[in-house]
Chains A and B, each alone.
Chain A
């Protein structure tokens, strides 16, 4: 049993008004030193890479101040560090899905404008050719189809600190799983995707966290994907044992040490442990109440209150 190490860095918010700074340049400036700190243990590997792909949580254009996506400023600060200190080709990647194209999400979130300041590019992995792979997890052989960019290059995954609709944290492993086709269930697919991609480091964006409400966390955490996900799970007050993927990934590994100037316990105490809003436009209780009311009175049910969003 070994101890996994996670590096933590606080972001100086002493002079800040409100919980959010709209100016991305100001946010990136505040992130410069924390990014350097958390990337330090992984930097040797990153410095040797020909190509580095950053994978943020950019699943939908929710405003970054909500904590529901990775703050592009965190990604920008990492890109800046990589371009300053390495010769690697850097890209920021996501994937179009049946909901929204990655180009559109990236544009709304400001990635297009952000990356114009650098040599880095945007990559839609839905357009990428793929590599077939197999991954053995608990004696089960799992087939995967991995975008070549993730299979062949060096990857830095940058998850947000938020729950998924199902309850567990979104985390590094599930952020990667969203980009990998895999025939395993929810407890194994994120593990298989993470092992297939084998990210050099995971950087948890806790600058703003969402746990039912957004909270300015003002911190970054970096380490292996499972270790960072365990930190996220603990910060959002979820059970490590209840997250099947995390249990599978961590196995019998021991405790996680968090080192750095971010006050982990104080942050944990500040963060709410809530869920995402209900999926329906209307709270299910309201939809049910309305259906009963309409059945009694003969009134029409407005389409917005019918549920089944």
Chain B
């Protein structure tokens, strides 16, 4: 659907892109964008000098220590907002003032209320908002959806999804200083549910339609303010599927292995994302290498981040966003999608808090008997 965006392209043939934040995920977006045809990465902003230096090493000619200075100085078509969540709304507001479309790292905002303000600002300015929900771009998830949509296991009464990693504390040996904001619910909007769970909500709605949260539980393996484990029970009325989601930031991770598991239990069998992944990283990398070498002779574009499907998904998500901006269309994963994942997370937090309060009031799980006068 074409949108009545007020702002349109700069005069250049290429989409002029700025990176607001080039930390961990921002560098993935930067490298993706640099490798993207018809995208010109003109500038990057980051408060940390070492991140700006990395951006310059990767071909960005102009860097800024403040994203507002970048937006003031550069003529952009679009900006990637890869700042901590507490800066998303302000950054989108500044981008809206400059008439720049935005691709926002998840979570879109820290709350639905903040997301509403962000989206209203974008609407008034006529800028597009895309959100980096990438699970649906992963080949394993696309394989699951294809098998499911083909009716490969019949009716699916139950599905489960698990996503675990070790962000931000990491695993031994102790590495760089862990950032404070991911463990501060005020800054991040929550814990592992907004760090990882929102991705799961997005892919589940992509598969099953609207979700209803029935119950939830939050856990902490360390004495952190934010939860590092979340478990959510859901219904998908359209498909009649009961779903459990578990996500956590407590499990050590060593790339290229990632612990993301999706299972659809159907009447005639199981669809698992593991069936749609290369069983061996090296074999997958070799296949990807052969494919990309061949693409040099066929003039096809190589698959960027070919062997790492989860990072390739980030590339594809940003490429889709850029394509939509070029065409003046709504981004395929837009602000409303991002807001919906936040609404689901908020409901889960509310139910978990209510359960915790009920447990505190009645630790034995016994209801007080009614006594007749």
Contacts and interface: CB of A to CB of B under 8 A. Distances in A.
Contacts of B303: 299
B91 interface: no
B107 interface: no
B311 A302 contact: yes
Nearest to A309: B175
A290 B285 contact: yes
Contact of B28 (A109, A276, A286, A302): A302
Contact of B171 (A109, A277, A302): A277
Contact of B282 (A99, A108, A289, A298): A289
A302 B288 CA distance: 15
Contact of B54 (A210, A279, A290, A303): A303
Contacts of B223: 107-110, 112-113
B222 A61 contact: yes
Contact of A303 (B28, B180, B256, B304): B28
A121 B85 CA distance: 35
Interface string B169-196: 1111111111010000000000000000
Contacts of A282: 254-256
A15 to B, nearest CB: 22
A59 B293 contact: no
B289 A296 contact: yes
B296 A298 contact: yes
Contacts of B311: 302, 304
Contact of A298 (B27, B222, B302): B302
Nearest to A210: B172
B261 interface: no
B5 to A, nearest CB: 30
A282 B307 CA distance: 14
Given A110-B223, A303-B31, A304-B311, A63 B289 contact: no
B54 A62 contact: no
A60 B174 contact: yes
A281 interface: yes
Contacts of B256: 282, 286, 305
A191 interface: no
Given A286-B255, A293-B307, A99 B174 contact: yes
B235 to A, nearest CB: 30
A16 B54 CA distance: 50
B177 A99 contact: yes
Interface in A41-70: 59-63, 66, 68
Interface in B38-73: 54
A210 B336 CA distance: 46
Interface in B302-320: 302-308, 311
A62 B307 contact: no
Contacts of A269: none
B75 interface: no
A293 B252 CA distance: 26
Interface residues of A, number: 41
B206 interface: no
Nearest to A110: B223
Of residues B32, B222, B281, B296, which shows the largest number of chain A Cβ atoms within 10 Å of its Cβ?
Answer: B222
B293 A297 contact: yes
Interface string B152-178: 000000000000000001111111111
A136 interface: no
B254 A281 contact: yes
B224 interface: yes
A300 interface: yes
Contacts of A297: 288-289, 292-293, 296, 302, 306
A174 B302 CA distance: 50
A165 B221 CA distance: 24
A236 to B, nearest CB: 14
B356 interface: no
A114 to B, nearest CB: 9
B24 interface: yes
B34 interface: yes
A131 B301 CA distance: 65
A107 B225 CA distance: 10
B103 interface: no
A127 interface: no
A283 interface: yes
B343 interface: no
A303 B285 contact: no
A110 B304 contact: no
A89 B346 CA distance: 46
A303 B31 CA distance: 8
Interface in B209-254: 221-224, 250, 252, 254
A276 B31 CA distance: 31
Contact of A59 (B174, B281, B289, B292): B174
A8 to B, nearest CB: 26
A304 B255 contact: yes
B324 interface: no
Contact of B304 (A277, A286, A300): A300
B35 interface: yes
Contact of B221 (A63, A112, A298, A303): A63
A242 interface: no
A98 interface: yes
For the complex of A and B, the 9 pairs showing the least CB-CB separation, nearest first, are A297-B292, A60-B174, A303-B27, A165-B173, A108-B222, A300-B31, A282-B255, A302-B311, A110-B223
Given A276-B172, A278-B254, 15 more contacts: A60-B172, A60-B174, A62-B174, A66-B172, A113-B223, A281-B170, A282-B254, A290-B308, A296-B292, A297-B289, A297-B306, A299-B292, A299-B304, A302-B305, A309-B176
Interface of B: 24, 27-28, 31-32, 34-35, 54, 169-178, 180, 221-224, 250, 252, 254-256, 281-282, 285, 288-289, 292-293, 296, 302-308, 311
6 contacts: A62-B169, A99-B176, A282-B256, A293-B289, A299-B292, A303-B31
